[in-house]
Amino acid sequence: MLRSVCFMRLHTAGVVVGYLGLAGSIFIAIASACALGFADVIAKAVEESMKQPDPKAHDEIHMMIVIFACIYLGSALISTMSSGMLIIGTMKNRHLMMLPWLVLNAIGLFSKIVYNLVLIYALYQAPMQFALIFVLSMLSLAFYAYIYAGIYSLFKHIQLSNDEQRPLVRSDNGTHDGTTYPNYTKI
């Protein structure tokens, strides 16, 4: 497990990553909402830039803009909620509130790995065209995995500290079977 991320303590890194994710998600949500609002204008501009305009192209382009903008808007809203929960979970030392961020970003990490595998195949087909993209994508994947490992370490650290602080409860028969805290330690 990591003890720091980018020269920051785990708790500080959790809050910083949460706020950066929150800001990015809000920006993507605003951009997606603007694309939805101006989908007709964007479709018209794309249609005019085409070399051979097609009468059906405007409707198809408009439909694709709406579909992708809705997907991005939905994913940005989900990311906004998970980043907010990461911030709150880090500040309040609640490891279960960090779980949505971890699950969502595990899916993102998996998709980045698949993307890099596809890029390796494309690099094999045309080595010079995809070499720079591949190098940048691998660096991005390594940094993404490092941040994920840091937040996962924070999750485990908070989980372990919460397990140590959780008071033991009585057994089903009402007696204290086994080791329990002395009565005077918990008020």
Partner residues linked to 4 by β-bridges = 9
The per-residue pLDDT for 50 is 83
Average pLDDT rounded to a whole number, residues 153-169: 81
The per-residue pLDDT for 187 is 45
Q: How far is CA 136 from CA 75, 119, 130, 141, in A?
A: 24, 11, 10, 9
The per-residue pLDDT for 131 is 78
Least confident residue range of 15-24, 39-48, 86-95, 163-172: 163-172
Residue 54 has pLDDT above 90, yes or no: no
Domain definitions of the chain by residue range: 4-165
Residue 141 has pLDDT above 60, yes or no: yes
Partner residues linked to 8 by β-bridges = 5
The contacts found for 106-111 with CB under 8 angstroms, 24 or more apart, are 106/148, 108/144, 109/141, 109/144, 109/145, 109/148
- Looking at every residue in the chain, the average pLDDT score rounds to 87
156 vs 162: CA distance, rounded Å? 10
> Within a 10 A sphere around the Cβ of 23, how many other Cβ atoms?
12
The SS3 of residue 40 is helix
